Amino acid sequence: MLSWFTGDARGYGTWLAGHPDEFVVLIDRVARLADIPTDAAGRPHLAVAVRTHRVLHRASGAEVAGPTADHLRICGPHDELVASFEGEDLPRCDRCLRVDPTA
Ligand SMILES: [Zn+2]
């Protein structure tokens, strides 16, 4: 089952404690339209913004241990997380996921 947490949601710490072997996708929250890259005509590149700012981590990784007000976190089993992105590229953290978790 996937769980979603935004900002400094308290339930996240409880989830981490209960699912040390699962995974977390960190997605930068684009809070302001001005933060989204635009094309020459000034139209926002939404796909680019989403694609560029998400990273898959192990739940045990240091990068996802602390509170962060600036990210959306999607948490759950590896295969279910990957499937939820329906084939879209899901970059892996080069620190906690140097080794393929499914290998
Ligand atoms: Zn990581």
Measured in Å, residue 63 CA sits from the centre of ligand 1 at 5
Task: Using alpha carbons, list the distances in angstroms from residue 96 to 25, 26, 30, 35, 58.
Answer: 12, 13, 24, 28, 6
CA of 95 to the centre of ligand 1 (A): 5
pLDDT over threshold 60, residue 50: no
Residue in this structure with the two tokens 């978790």, named with its chain if needed: 101
Spans of all domains in the chain: 3-84
Q: How much distance in Å is there from the Cα of 40 to the middle of ligand 1? A: 34
Strand order of the β-sheet with 3-6 is: 3-6, 71-76, 23-28, 54-58
Instruction: Give the distance between the most distant pair of CA atoms in the chain.
Output: 47
**Tell me, what amino acid is at 84?**
S
Count Cβ atoms below 10 Å from residue 102 Cβ, excluding itself.
7
User: What does the pLDDT look like over 75-97, one tens digit per residue?
Assistant: 999 999 988 877 778 889 999 98
Q: By C-alpha distance, which of 59, 60, 54 is closest to 92?
A: 54
Instruction: Give the Å distance between the CA of 34 and the centre of ligand 1.
Output: 27
> From ligand 1's centre to the CA of 52, what distance in Å?
16
Cα(97)–Cα(99) distance, integer angstroms: 5
Render pLDDT for 13-44 as a digit per residue (tens, 0 to 9): 999 999 999 999 988 765 555 666 777 887 76
Backbone phi, then psi, for 66, in 5-degree steps? Answer: -95, 170
